[in-house]
Structure 1
Amino acid sequence: MAKKTKAADLSIEEKLEQALIVPGYEPYKIPDNWCWTSFKNVAEVVTGGTPSKKHKEYYGNVFPFFKPADLNTGRNVSIASEYLSEEGKKVSRVIPAKSTLVCCIGSIGKSGFLEIEGSTNQQINSAIPKIEPLYLYYYVNTDCFINQLWSKSSATTISIVNKTKMEECYFPLAPLPEQQRIVERIESLFSKLDEAKEKAQEAIDSFETRKAAILHKAFSGELTAKWREENGVGIESWERKRISECCKLGSGGTPSRKKPNYYIGDIPWIKTGEINWNTVNYSEESITKEAIDNSSAKVYAPGAVLVAMYGMGITRGKAAILGIEAATNQAVCVLQPKEYLFNRYLYFFFMCNYWDIREQAVGGNQLNLSATIIGKLNIDIPNLEEQYVITELLDSIIEKEYQTKQIAESVIDQIDAMKKAILARAFRGELGTNDHEEESAVELLKQILTGE
């Protein structure tokens, strides 16, 4: 008799033997009435594709076309960044609702639960479930599954896990009623954690707003109104001056890169990337005295206020206080305040007016500030004693706000870790929901294999 080779010719016992993971090769121990199988046995895996951009008629606003960035919503993927027309839908593979989408090119393991039908690009493998849909989705979010994907990724410039490799991943199959109980338990626990996470995120998101409000009060005089009243000082004592009137402005330069010896010195050389609302006490690069002598770079004394002048990103307009003797490149404006202007008060002035100052940048391909633009800025200056009071208050209040933000960020990290721990326990049968008297998941696997 000829050897059986086609799956259709195999008996259920032979199919089951192929579907079950050989004892000893399981990732970890699961309850006795569960079983380990391959991912392909619990879901149909489909790789997406992108309809030809040459056919403009394929694109419209009718049928959602999902990409990896659309998976950021996780449990509720329902809004796509791009849509296809009816014609585009016809040439795409339609993925039904309640499928799990898994990024398998680049951001491997990033996943989302599809709430509506749609299609995907080729960076996503869709798992169309043959079991409880959310049980499948939550397992895909475990470290066990994600680590399996990474271990199967190809060694190319961009990591890739193809359909076949994803199908080979091991899957802990529980009886169907237990799958449903696990999902209910996970969603109940996650709901409480999400409430806490939302509050923590609100604290983070409102940090900049709170900081801006505090700075506005400082530079409008409101923050020290009580101090002035107690000390018999009027708001009319404040003077408005241009930065060029109350500061000596300068900048730096870049010694020739063609002379590597210029960059093996002991003079700190500051670039804009090192200016980040901080006190600069060290530099990424140092230059020699010869480099200073043969370029427009200059050495500045500690206490100067540095302002980044170049850059399209968030760097332009940021300030720092120079804590060491150092030189700078030409993209840094160096402000040396006169004796009646406290350098930290000036530093907070730039923090307060950061966004407005950035808007004054000019240029073609790249918007830049200049010493001229910065010099024309107006600053309201109280007497030195009030400047000290203002900066002390700002240091104290903003530090507390930073601490609040850091605590909120820590809470979010802890919540994410707790979710990972819950998922790990869920798929080990450790959530207290498993009924050992329940029919073995092997029977469910048989039904799947026979298509019943």
Structure 2
Amino acid sequence: MKQVQYVLPDSWAWKTLEDVSEKITDGTHHSPKVQFSEWEPGRFKYITSKNIKNSGMKLDNISYIDQDTHSNIYTRCPPEIDDQLLTKDGAMTGTCCLNELDEPFSLLSSVALIKQKRSIILPKYLNYYLQSQVGQNFLLGDISGAAITRTNIKKLKGTPVPLAPFSEQERIVEKLNALLNRIDIAIEHLQESASLADALYASSLDQVFEKVYLDYSTEPLSTLANKIGSGATPKGGQKAYKESGVSLIRSLNVHDLEFKPAGLAFIDDDQAEKLRNVVVERGDVLLNITGASIARCCVAPNEYLPARVNQHVCIIRPTLELDSLYLNYLLTSPKFKALLLFQGAGGATRQALTKVMVSNLDIPRPPLEEQVKLVDKMNLLCKKNRDLKEQINSKVFDLITLKSSILDSAFKGEL
């Protein structure tokens, strides 16, 4: 539902984005066929929606185009310093920042260029407004929930803008700069605390297993597992998946010490029968063996059995001499994970752990009762870390909510 205009202070007025802009346009609607990954003389930056963030322009992943291609785009859409750059297509529609580049560059059509009338509206005032919840509701209120999120130039031009007197804009921007900067610093400190908590937890895990390696002998995993093996994707790929049935566990479900059911696929009994050699059983340890998520590891959850795995996930079925949770903690400990990642990257174009690599992993084997004690200790460490991070994340959420509230108040004349 689109935001309804509210009553403004007497000296303010509702305008449209077109009223307060000299030009509103977008980049090229024909992505250049030839793009370059590196700059050379005669090449120009090519900015797309992936480079636009509310915090500013992100230029670490950028393409370049040649002079002729750039000139054709730039003639119609010439960004200048402090113009508004707003994403108008895709999942990040509405993301907006000020142009930080004091140089010519080209835009794709997924980014709108808004050249505000600087004599009546401050660039930072408009930018704060477009990022506020009030501004976002006006920009996107009638497209939220759409299958493909996008807006267009006509809608942008008609977006309501609460125009304050110029001196009031200056006061609002100055106050927002001070308040939001303090909030951003507080959020940054909390995020650093979360990183520190993770580092301390990782260090504690390594210390536990360093002692285990000193105190007990190791054995190849193949001698401590009844099964080591990965599965396959049913013929037809994703199109062959069902709405319900036997769970098909994929790498996206396997995270360190955690199974995430989002995106869990299902297959029917006939498909499951063809994968009968990779039946997931209670207590199986699941290890991702290919791709970007390689070496992520968790214990199979009972509530999603019966299940099979695809070719990206390896089943490790410990013998009675090896506790599943103990193995899970070992495989996800930082030093062991570093070993897995090193082996998986060994000279191949794609990261992969083979069955032989997994089978030959050296596993320290304390007596089973000692493994259970170690698991209890690590469960406690894990719980303390998760509780601490939940507290930190709650505080970060409160600060983000406060930031949003301050922005909304500013554009209702209440700051």
Among 34, 52, 60, the alignment partner of 1:71 is 52
Q: Which residue of 2 aligns with 1:137?
A: 127
1:152, distance to aligned residue in structure 2 (A): 6.3
Q: Which residue of 2 aligns with 1:317?
A: 295
Preserved CA contact (<8 Å) 2:44 2:106:
no
Quick one: distance in 1 between partners of 2:172 and 2:250? 54
Preserved CA contact (<8 Å) 1:102 1:126:
yes
Q: Which residue of 2 aligns with 1:108?
A: 93
Quick one: distance in 1 between partners of 2:84 and 2:214? 65
Preserved CA contact (<8 Å) 2:275 2:308:
no
1:301, distance to aligned residue in structure 2 (A): 4.4
1:149, distance to aligned residue in structure 2 (A): 2.4
Q: Which residue of 2 aligns with 1:438?
A: none
Going from structure 1 to structure 2, the CA distance change for 1:166 and 1:60 (only over 3 Å counts) comes to farther
Going from structure 1 to structure 2, the CA distance change for 1:323 and 1:126 (only over 3 Å counts) comes to closer
- Secondary structure at the aligned position of 1:47 is classed as strand
Quick one: distance in 1 between partners of 2:4 and 2:232? 59
Preserved CA contact (<8 Å) 1:105 1:160:
yes
- Secondary structure at the aligned position of 2:85 is classed as strand
- Secondary structure at the aligned position of 1:400 is classed as helix
- Secondary structure at the aligned position of 2:276 is classed as coil
Question: Given residue 247 of structure 1, which amino acid in structure 2 is its aligned partner?
Answer: A
Preserved CA contact (<8 Å) 1:45 1:163:
no
Preserved CA contact (<8 Å) 2:32 2:65:
no
1:181, distance to aligned residue in structure 2 (A): 0.5
Going from structure 1 to structure 2, the CA distance change for 1:115 and 1:218 (only over 3 Å counts) comes to same
- Secondary structure at the aligned position of 1:336 is classed as strand
1:189, distance to aligned residue in structure 2 (A): 0.8
Among 128, 139, 155, the alignment partner of 2:115 is 128
Among 314, 318, 326, the alignment partner of 1:345 is 326
1:376, distance to aligned residue in structure 2 (A): 0.5
1:86, distance to aligned residue in structure 2 (A): 7.0
Q: Which residue of 2 aligns with 1:43?
A: 21
1:379, distance to aligned residue in structure 2 (A): 1.6
* Residue 30 of structure 2 corresponds to residue 30 of structure 1: no
1:391, distance to aligned residue in structure 2 (A): 1.9
Q: Which moved more, 1:269-278 or 1:243-252?
A: 269-278
Q: Which residue of 2 aligns with 1:443?
A: none
Quick one: distance in 1 between partners of 2:144 and 2:341? 44
Going from structure 1 to structure 2, the CA distance change for 1:61 and 1:391 (only over 3 Å counts) comes to farther
- Secondary structure at the aligned position of 1:94 is classed as coil
Question: Given residue 387 of structure 1, which amino acid in structure 2 is its aligned partner?
Answer: Q
Question: Given residue 292 of structure 2, which amino acid in structure 1 is its aligned partner?
Answer: G
Quick one: distance in 2 between partners of 1:401 and 1:188? 33
Q: Which residue of 2 aligns with 1:275?
A: 254
Q: Which residue of 2 aligns with 1:296?
A: 276
Quick one: distance in 2 between partners of 1:34 and 1:246? 74
**Over residues 8-65 of structure 1, what are the superposed CA-to-partner deviations in whole Å (9 max), with x where a residue is unaligned?**
xxxxxxxxxxxxxxxxx96111101111112112122332434955698x97477654
Q: Which residue of 1 aligns with 2:340?
A: 357
Among 153, 177, 193, the alignment partner of 1:203 is 193
Q: CA RMSD in A?
A: 4.0
Q: Which residue of 1 aligns with 2:408?
A: 424
Preserved CA contact (<8 Å) 1:243 1:376:
yes
**Over residues 304-346 of structure 1, what are the superposed CA-to-partner deviations in whole Å (9 max), with x where a residue is unaligned?**
323233x3131x3222223536442353433333343322211
* Residue 222 of structure 2 corresponds to residue 241 of structure 1: no
1:98, distance to aligned residue in structure 2 (A): 2.0
**Over residues 191-217 of structure 1, what are the superposed CA-to-partner deviations in whole Å (9 max), with x where a residue is unaligned?**
110111111222344455444322221
What TM-score results when the alignment is normalised by the length of structure 1?
A: 0.72
- Secondary structure at the aligned position of 2:343 is classed as coil
- Secondary structure at the aligned position of 1:333 is classed as strand
Question: Given residue 123 of structure 1, which amino acid in structure 2 is its aligned partner?
Answer: S
Question: Given residue 114 of structure 1, which amino acid in structure 2 is its aligned partner?
Answer: N
Among 372, 386, 405, the alignment partner of 1:402 is 386
Q: Which moved more, 1:260-269 or 1:291-300?
A: 260-269
Among 171, 183, 202, the alignment partner of 2:173 is 183
- Secondary structure at the aligned position of 1:297 is classed as helix
Quick one: distance in 2 between partners of 1:402 and 1:59? 48
Preserved CA contact (<8 Å) 1:142 1:423:
yes
* Residue 137 of structure 2 corresponds to residue 150 of structure 1: no
In structure 2, stretches of 5+ residues that fail to align are: none
**Over residues 121-143 of structure 1, what are the superposed CA-to-partner deviations in whole Å (9 max), with x where a residue is unaligned?**
12222222222221111111122
Question: Given residue 297 of structure 1, which amino acid in structure 2 is its aligned partner?
Answer: N
1:281, distance to aligned residue in structure 2 (A): 11
Going from structure 1 to structure 2, the CA distance change for 1:174 and 1:394 (only over 3 Å counts) comes to same
Q: Which moved more, 1:89-98 or 1:247-256?
A: 247-256
Larger Rg: 1
Question: Given residue 339 of structure 2, which amino acid in structure 1 is its aligned partner?
Answer: D
Question: Given residue 360 of structure 1, which amino acid in structure 2 is its aligned partner?
Answer: Q
Going from structure 1 to structure 2, the CA distance change for 1:125 and 1:265 (only over 3 Å counts) comes to closer
Preserved CA contact (<8 Å) 2:24 2:157:
no
- Secondary structure at the aligned position of 2:102 is classed as coil
